[in-house]
Structure 1
């Protein structure tokens, strides 16, 4: 199959858009709602999609009295009629998020046995509801968050530590709402769709322990504030565990997941005459190394027809990590770094294009969702006076793709099912 550069770019962007659309709460939330309750409906929520999820709920139940509060990232708000929307900082927490968490806990504690508490949760919820455990300050947890993001720890490991420093997560919100019925509607942004990891699991039991959190801190050699170290050592109050009667009436429902998004992209690929292969929805690891591995699979498909012959598209999701090694790192999220690692491994191979982007529209803390690489990316970079390997070493992948005008910009998509990667082999 012969494909022009323009056609390949258009196809990749269409696949990404199909994946994002499949996770849009306005399209998918209504079908997952529980039966309408006899009592009040209290709506709480946290995450990058919280506001648009609240609006979708109001549209699905236009005649049901409800009230509540959700918190989302600055710039991710959406108009609502009945449910209050607060905005806070992500990925570095701020006092606005802490105050929103305090207010949600207070609302949950006032719920009665006939009430329904709907918790709307999506990616980013951990940072947006950073409420310090007794004896800790917000400054302590901000320092922890920075250490976590630079450590190379996986999202599962990060949230194990967060749950043991929080007054909100790790099942504590559901415990506060007891004896009300709690139903969580979730958009998963984590590998494996683990409810304890999504926003650090405010409405589900926490099977992890203080001992595990301490072991992770030691393993990654994190330098944490003295108060945090003392809190983890004291292990004074564990989070609610499986079997806790306060969480006996909770129900957890996924309305969108990484696999659902990948399956939507695969269906769109078939319509374009491309054979899709979903490599997995939970691929993790160091971003640049994951990019190298994905390049190897694409090269095999082009040269040998394995794991499938061209024309094909290799799809994957999950969340890679970036371990900061440069003394003065440049700009670039994990998707741009993964893509640059992939581009270097492809080494200008013909007939292979790639798009890697975050489905929330923001790669790390940058202004782009991700980027596209083409067979001539390295040649164009060289012509522009850029050293691709040096930029990768400096974590400055954004500079390369911005210079080449190959960034993917969507603005906030108001959903988040984690990273989307597509390698098109023509």
Structure 2
């Protein structure tokens, strides 16, 4: 139990370091960002990011578009909650509200645009000739295909009138400041949220774009927390960019041969779903696969979780397993993409709730000296 509690403490320290409020507050405190005339935030961390801006600047017209269940009352902030990972009717409402706000800016206005992962589904305006149903169908196909986030977001840009820099094409003001929390490999502003915060080529306004939090920041905070507890940090890699089965096999082999200490991996693996998947996203699937990799090893415990606090369409962020977790029947759950129900039935899911950030996923593995 101590290993599990320690892993959770370290994970929470990593996530706290990249929280939407903390990340934006740091950026606004270090950059020469003048008072904005309007604040727009979109993504899973939108509310916390906007709250930091309002704390600094006071009363400014502000709108946040975020995931269902990720909103909370903030004085002076209008909030629209929408569908994720599949857009819904409220995603169209969110997209329309963003377009209206951008287009309403005057010629001298400064717009502060705050972007985090999840924006691709949360705010949408389908390309002419396409319906919401078309976008939903294509999103479901992409989610089931095992495509990585860059591939998915490239396709999403083709379907949308506000992605890939097109939202800011309607801005006729003087200045745009874009602060983004990255949930993509390489931290490219053109990929985060399918490029909803990208400044279009040839823009006639002044602009500043900055990544204010990323997976690297979260891993660094996890490492600091581990060392503060007297642990050696043996592995620290952003390498979870393969199918979950491949990631599990590689991590398992590393852990079985590695010295004692904390091992950290970050990134966002992919998963291919069957036609009728059960419950659980990529993190719960990876957790259950790692339970198989470390079965019978009392010296190993692993936490796998999405930093946003949710794993796909579920309420869990991932799973927390050790060498005793694997049981007969788990293979069938993996084959049916039903790892979530299997883990939940045994008390092995990890459900911290919405975190106010989104920097992909973390895998933390603790290996003790006994084994």
TM range (shorter): over 0.9
Which of 118, 135, 146 is equivalent to 1:141?
A: 135
- TM (normalized to structure 1)? 0.82
Confirm whether residue 299 of structure 1 aligns to residue 256 of structure 2.
yes
Q: Which whole-Å CA distance do the structure 2 matches of 1:12 and 1:109 have between them?
A: 46
Which of 209, 228, 243 is equivalent to 1:286?
A: 243
Residue 44 of structure 1: how far off its partner (Å)? 1.1
Q: Which whole-Å CA distance do the structure 2 matches of 1:348 and 1:389 have between them?
A: 16
Q: Which whole-Å CA distance do the structure 1 matches of 2:72 and 2:195 have between them?
A: 24
How many corresponding residue pairs?
Answer: 366
Cα pair 1:55 1:78 within 8 Å, conserved: no
Confirm whether residue 420 of structure 1 aligns to residue 368 of structure 2.
no
Q: Which whole-Å CA distance do the structure 1 matches of 2:79 and 2:234 have between them?
A: 39
Residue 84 of structure 1: how far off its partner (Å)? 1.3
Q: Which whole-Å CA distance do the structure 2 matches of 1:132 and 1:74 have between them?
A: 20
Q: Which whole-Å CA distance do the structure 1 matches of 2:246 and 2:34 have between them?
A: 50
Which of 2, 11, 31 is equivalent to 1:7?
A: 2
Alignment partner, residue 61 of structure 1: 57
Query: What are the equivalent positions in structure 2 for 1:56-205 lying under 5 Å apart?
Result: 56-62=52-58, 65-204=59-198
Cα pair 1:336 1:363 within 8 Å, conserved: yes
Cα pair 1:289 1:341 within 8 Å, conserved: no
Residue 287 of structure 1: how far off its partner (Å)? 1.1
SS at match of 1:192: helix
Confirm whether residue 35 of structure 1 aligns to residue 32 of structure 2.
yes
Q: Which whole-Å CA distance do the structure 1 matches of 2:192 and 2:222 have between them?
A: 23
Residue 278 of structure 1: how far off its partner (Å)? 4.3
Q: Which whole-Å CA distance do the structure 1 matches of 2:338 and 2:6 have between them?
A: 27
- TM (normalized to structure 2)? 0.94
Alignment partner, residue 213 of structure 2: 256
Residue 35 of structure 1: how far off its partner (Å)? 3.3
Residue 52 of structure 1: how far off its partner (Å)? 1.6
Query: Quick check: which has more Rg, 1 or 2?
Result: 1
Residue 101 of structure 1: how far off its partner (Å)? 1.2
Cα pair 1:191 1:282 within 8 Å, conserved: no
Cα pair 1:204 1:247 within 8 Å, conserved: no
Q: Which whole-Å CA distance do the structure 2 matches of 1:125 and 1:425 have between them?
A: 37
Confirm whether residue 407 of structure 1 aligns to residue 349 of structure 2.
yes
Residue 46 of structure 1: how far off its partner (Å)? 0.8
SS at match of 1:377: coil
5+ residue gaps, structure 1: 1-5, 206-239, 302-308
Provide Cα deviations, 1:36-82, integer angstroms capped at 9, x if missing partner. Answer: 537x52111211111121111111223xx411322011111122222
Residue 328 of structure 1: how far off its partner (Å)? 3.0
Provide Cα deviations, 1:142-197, integer angstroms capped at 9, x if missing partner. Answer: 11111110111100000000011110110012221144311111111112212111
Confirm whether residue 376 of structure 1 aligns to residue 324 of structure 2.
yes
Which of 15, 19, 25 is equivalent to 1:24?
A: 19
CA RMSD of aligned residues (A): 1.7
Q: Which whole-Å CA distance do the structure 2 matches of 1:129 and 1:327 have between them?
A: 27
SS at match of 2:183: coil
Confirm whether residue 272 of structure 1 aligns to residue 268 of structure 2.
no
Residue 391 of structure 1: how far off its partner (Å)? 1.4
